Amino acid sequence: MATYLLRKLLYTVLVLLGVVAVTFFIRPPGDPARVLLGQRADEASVAAMREQLGLDRPLYEQMGIYVKNLLSGDLGTSIATQRSVSETIIERIPATALLALTSIAIATVLGILLGVIAAWRPNTWIDTLTMSTSLLGISLPAFVVGLLFVLIFGVALEWFPNSGYIDRGIEHLVLPMITLAIRPLSIIARVTRSSMLDVLGQDYVRTARAKGLSNVRVFLHHALRNALNPVITTVSAWFAGLLAGTYFIEFIFNWPGIGLAAFNAIEKLDYPMIQGTVLFTAVIFVVVNTLADLVYGFVDPKVRLS
């Protein structure tokens, strides 16, 4: 286990170094200094602003400063707001985390439940309806679902507000949460069903049934527990993906999270904020997937041996 743990941690460090290198070279088209000062600013003012931002230095010097600041936890200063990027991201983490955690919780619980129900009665109308619905959920992009929900439940029916944060009422969370949960829920349901059917065909399940154990005990105690390994991997991967997927949902529902900050930064060519949000999301994605691999390796010894 120690070797497996060390190998995974080394791999994580290498990936993070690659992420830092890639995020440094994220430079939107246009001149941030001119965007900050306005199109009517004279060349002398623009040159002075470029010097103040460090944009006049050679690229290797800029990267050295960037890495040095990262090691001290400094992601730079937003060009548009003149605020610390780190502080802005920290302020917005609760909103994004709330949306991602509630969505993945709903997706996990309902996805496993629907997958188990479909595997319990395979090739019946229940199985067909569940899998057909999940296929539809996988096929529709989250931003399309979000726009449909806004038009149907926000504008036409007026059941839920179209935008805002939870501090103005729990109803503000409903539409973005469900929108974000639909696709991972559908995938988790299909993975659970497939894994359950595979486990139910194993010899030890047939042996348990031959010993006279009830179908419910065999299904839940023996089959479900061993079928959860691929589900754990799927849930962890989608939890990390939800943190990135919230970008579009936050923009559609005006949810004050990291994704909305990233969209605003792109509109204003605020590359320090763009770099900061991309780096933060990438680090979370890598760390969550690494933790999932460690949990998976702990649950299944065959993974460690491979």
Contact 204, 231 (CB under 8 A): no
pLDDT digits (tens, 9 = 90+) for 250-293: 888 888 888 888 888 887 777 788 888 888 888 887 777 777 67
Report residue 270 CA to chain centroid gap: 23
User: Does residue 1 form part of some domain?
Assistant: no
Where among 47, 71, 95 does a domain terminate? Answer: 71
User: Does residue 94 form part of some domain?
Assistant: yes
Domain identity same for 272 and 218? yes
Contact 118, 193 (CB under 8 A): yes
Structurally, the chain folds into a number of domains equal to: 2
Give the pLDDT of residue 110. Answer: 92
User: Does residue 126 form part of some domain?
Assistant: yes
CATH for 173: 1.10.3720.10
Domain range for 46 is 9-71
Domain identity same for 64 and 102? no
Domain identity same for 34 and 132? no
Give the pLDDT of residue 96. Answer: 86
Domain identity same for 146 and 63? no
Question: Rounded CA gap, 280 and 34, in Å?
Answer: 27
Domain identity same for 231 and 100? yes
Give the pLDDT of residue 302. Answer: 56
Give the pLDDT of residue 208. Answer: 66
> Mean pLDDT in runs of 10 for the chain (306 residues)?
73 80 70 68 76 74 78 78 84 86 89 85 83 85 84 82 71 86 88 81 68 66 72 75 74 84 81 83 79 66 54
pTM of the model: 0.75
Give the pLDDT of residue 168. Answer: 63
Domain identity same for 195 and 288? yes
Give the pLDDT of residue 14. Answer: 83
Where among 21, 37, 71 does a domain terminate? Answer: 71
User: Does residue 76 form part of some domain?
Assistant: no
